[in-house]
Chain A
């Protein structure tokens, strides 16, 4: 675990950057503006067509996966430091990075399966 810490930190940084630059607008649009009726949702067909494009597929994969690894790394340290759960450190690491890997796998599968 110690030997890959630099790699995990790089993932955390990349994920934090993706989340910082792109999550506010995505969340605002799909979570607030569209449900509250301020903006019209894109039509299903057009959105579906957009997602089939290889560039969009890559974009969505990065958009979902990296922030999950950002959460995994940061939350792991928060539990370790904030709640002082030192005795559970290995379990916490496995659960956090495991969840991020699972999310990435699900995203990759869904993006692969689009017609």
Chain B
């Protein structure tokens, strides 16, 4: 077991350089450390100027997404032991503007997430005295997988369509739209279909499948998108054959 490991980290300080550079740090190797621990060690003991995001350190907040050796990963869930003897290359997520070092701008994703209306839409709420909405385990099962999304954006960073078409609404947004579409309490599917049937919605996806491969919560956004294509196409056929039914 080595006593140290090298971390090659992307640096970008817009006040002093116009392009990112790589800086290597030799740090102690602990077999139970994750990449986030290594970054924290660098910041606390070696170079306090290193900037990056993190929060829960247990894979539920979605803050610490970065590229480790070229693959989008949650740094709190990526063990140094899998990369020994190293060096381990840590870079910001692809296809988002880099603000500084490992920090990216998330505005585009947040804006797209809002567009799909990720909340329960109902035509009118009953009074609290009517009681709760009841849901069977099978009804929960229909959308549960998509509710696991932690908005970490690893899927956007893996999607070549998002790279080539920055207007593409993206895997997580569509998966979250499906989470609400498939929820038995929701009545907002037609509204979401309007938004997602646009050119930059589901139809730009070519089922590369990389989003599902990198997703740390096994949401399977690629599956969600293809299923939604079928729903969208079925709806299109229905509206063609039965234009009088306004759903």
Contact = CB atoms under 8 A, between A and B. Distances in A.
Contact of A7 (B161, B229, B236): B236
A6 B236 contact: yes
Nearest to B201: A5
Interface residues of B, number: 15
Category for how many chain A residues contact B? 10 to 19
Nearest to B235: A6
B127 interface: no
B134 interface: no
Contacts of B199: 2, 5
| Chain A to chain B: the 6 pairs with minimum beta-carbon distance, closest first | A6-B236, A6-B233, A5-B203, A10-B233, A2-B199, A77-B206
Interface of A: 2, 5-7, 9-10, 74, 77, 81, 84
Is the contact region of chain B dominated by helix, strand, or loop, or is it mixed? helix
A58 to B, nearest CB: 21
24 contacts: A2-B198, A2-B199, A5-B197, A5-B199, A5-B203, A6-B203, A6-B229, A6-B232, A6-B233, A6-B235, A6-B236, A7-B233, A7-B237, A9-B203, A9-B229, A10-B233, A10-B237, A74-B206, A77-B206, A81-B160, A81-B164, A81-B165, A81-B206, A84-B164
A10 B198 CA distance: 16
Interface string B215-247: 000000000000001001101110000000000
